[in-house]
Amino acid sequence: MKIKHDIISPAYHQVYFTFSPAEMQNAYRLVRDMYSLEKPKSKKAQKQLDEMVVEHLEGLMDEEIANLDVIAVSWKQFRYLCETSPDQGLVVICQFCVLPPGTEIHFPPKIPTELLHVELDQMIFEDFVKQLLTANHFDYDEPQKKVTDRSLVSYDLRYMQDDFLINHLENRSISFTTVNQKQFRLFLNKAIGEEVVLDNDDGVLVKAKITGITEKRYPPLSDKLVAQCRFLNTKTVAELTDKVTEIYRYSTIVMVVVDYLVEFIWQTQVFVPDEFVINHFYDSSKIPTKPKEREVFLQGLNKYVIKEYLLSLMDLNYRVDVQKLIKKIQEEYEFDKTLFFGSKSFEDYPEYLERHLLEAKVFQYCLDKGIVELPK
């Protein structure tokens, strides 16, 4: 493997990695041996093997970058100049942020304790309980006479041109939580059997005939229900409330502390991300062009980048018993997973753990150094 290290700016570097055909053959052979794989006999199997080889190569490149006399910060961008193959060489460019030489990030001597007074948000708790009951199938649908902003509406669709039926779709549904809220408002205060005109463009009339109106209902929370839901081994309403309060308080305080430090570092201007760093984290073509909007946007983006540097540096330089932190994060994950039950965008546990562990380390450092004193 040949390596060429380029300094694009004091805060942004790139490394060229060149793998010879022989090294690529060895990489493919090593991965197949590691996982006891035969030579792929289909395109799908070949693609899976290619992805495993890429993961192996990026591990090797990470090791080489770690040996450089720089501190790499946050994630790395790997750019492959050709497809991976056991039959040819490979050139990869890895671009990444570094801590500029001589940069010193100072923390405040104390974070005001009054910022750390956190009470459980009752609306969040109520939403959590509803989602917990839904996840455990204790919710039920109650028929309604008219559509409200809490209704789930069932309807049939008809597409008409003049007096001719073009198309007919049955058993559609819509609620206020769906993407098209403007369309849902057309159903408000309507009853079963009534029709709603959804569209009338190009001579095609689209009508929805309401076939059902229901509203989600939940039984009163009781010790019996809590025990059946088995959330983090809680067995009573009091235990559930205390556990949720504890999780919410911890996660909120961690967020407040990290955000305070980012604001403090940004105000002191000890580190100002350059254009290469900004472009690493965000597509410059999407940055607003109007002066005021651009200023506000770049301010927020600069703080985001500072946060990435802060988390990476603390991860590199501060050692802590992560098992204690992981237990907290596991509970936080279970809370968030329940609160956002059914959300397809909710991240998997490994990604969640990695991110939240970095933030928890910063918070623990502040506790250990006396920068944070929790209110009693």
Tokens of 57: 């190569």
Q: Where are the domains of the chain?
A: 2-98, 113-132+223-368, 140-217
For 275-292, the pLDDT digits (tens) are 898 888 887 777 788 888
For 168-185, the pLDDT digits (tens) are 999 999 888 775 788 889
**Common-topology check for domains 2-98 and 140-217:** no
- Containing 83, the helix (H) or strand (E) segment is none
The answer to whether 29 and 40 have CB atoms below 8 angstroms apart is no
CA distance 97 to 11: 6
Instruction: Please report the pLDDT score of residue 278 as a whole number.
Output: 83
For 84-97, the pLDDT digits (tens) are 999 999 999 999 99
**Which among 332, 340, 175 has a CA at the least distance from the CA of 250?**
332
Mean pLDDT (whole number) for 156-172: 90
Class of domain 140-217: alpha beta
> pLDDT confidence of 343, banded at 50, 70, 90?
low
CA distance 251 to 260: 14
Helix, strand, coil % over all residues of the chain, rounded to 5? 50, 20, 30
CA distances 96 to 69, 76, 99, 215, 265, Å, are: 14, 5, 10, 51, 21
Cα-trace Rg, the chain: 28
Which of these ranges, 57-66, 83-92, 159-168, has the smallest mean pLDDT? 159-168
Mean pLDDT (whole number) for 235-242: 97
CATH classification of 2-98, choosing from 3.50.50.60, 3.30.70.1050, 3.20.20.70, 3.30.70.2190? 3.30.70.1050
CA distance 261 to 245: 24
Give the chain's largest Cα–Cα span.
78
> pLDDT confidence of 99, banded at 50, 70, 90?
confident
